[in-house]
Amino acid sequence: MSEKDISKTVIKRLPRYYRYLGELMDSKVERISSGELSERMHVTASQIRQDLNHFGGFGQQGYGYNVEYLYDEIGKILGLDKKHNMVIIGAGNLGQALANYGNFENRGFITKALFDENPELKGKKIRGIQVRSMSQLERYLKKEDIQIVALAIPKESAVVVAQRVVNCGVKAIWNFAHTDLNVPEDVVVENVHLSESLMRLSYNINRYELEHGIKKEEE
């Protein structure tokens, strides 16, 4: 089966497998059965077997999964065995927070520069990474080997800025702006919406309260 045929829901679960396997490696666990992995991850063992079978299984009857091997293989599927250079556009609260998070580098995502239209931010350094002016964007993207652009700018300007980025040949956008980007088919966009995640949390709080007969005082 080609990776194209694998459903998006399976792909969505892979980072979670990767994280758990990384934790097992940190704890020096060398092999694990689908049953044990299922208990840790709160996913059924058959789900785990089904998911991992998409990629050739990696498991052996009676032995379980070799943790390091599986970790490496999933890492390769996720493209984490390669380095990805990234640029962040928008050096406000969110852009700076992303740049300040050094752990992305451990996964191979290297933030090379930030860009912002605010002249007061030009030259500022966030964790040693320079904020550049938007007028340098095209030159920089064409000259440097940048694979990912993160958009941390208001939605009003995101579509236009995304177009500029795509025109420079960038094929991957990590979009935090609350708007859909109209990009060609060969450009991949990963939309991140923290507020949607909060809304799901709110739904689950509501459901829990309803199920347990918890009534909240009206404010």
> Interface residues for ligand NAI in 173-212 (CB under 6 A)?
176-178, 192-195
Stretch that binds ligand NAI, among 5-13, 45-53, 85-93, 138-146 (CB under 6 A): 85-93
Q: Is 72 helix (H, G, I), strand (E, B) or coil?
A: helix
Contacts with ligand NAI, 100-119, as mask; x by CB under 6 A: ---------------xxxx-
Q: Work out whether 89 is an interface residue with ligand NAI (CB under 6 A).
A: yes
Nearer to ligand NAI, 154 or 169 (CB): 154
| Distance of closest approach, residue 73 Cβ to ligand NAI, in angstroms | 31
Quote the tokens at residue 98.
């992303």
| β-sheet bridge partners, residue 149 | 87, 173
Backbone angles phi, psi at 172, to 5 degrees: -140, 125
Task: Give, rounded to a whole angstrom, the gap between the first and last alpha carbons of the chain.
Answer: 55
Q: Is 89 helix (H, G, I), strand (E, B) or coil?
A: strand
Strand (E) or helix (H) holding 174: strand 172-175
Choosing from 2, 27, 61, 93, the residue that interacts with ligand NAI (CB under 6 A) is 93
Nearer to ligand NAI, 34 or 96 (CB): 96
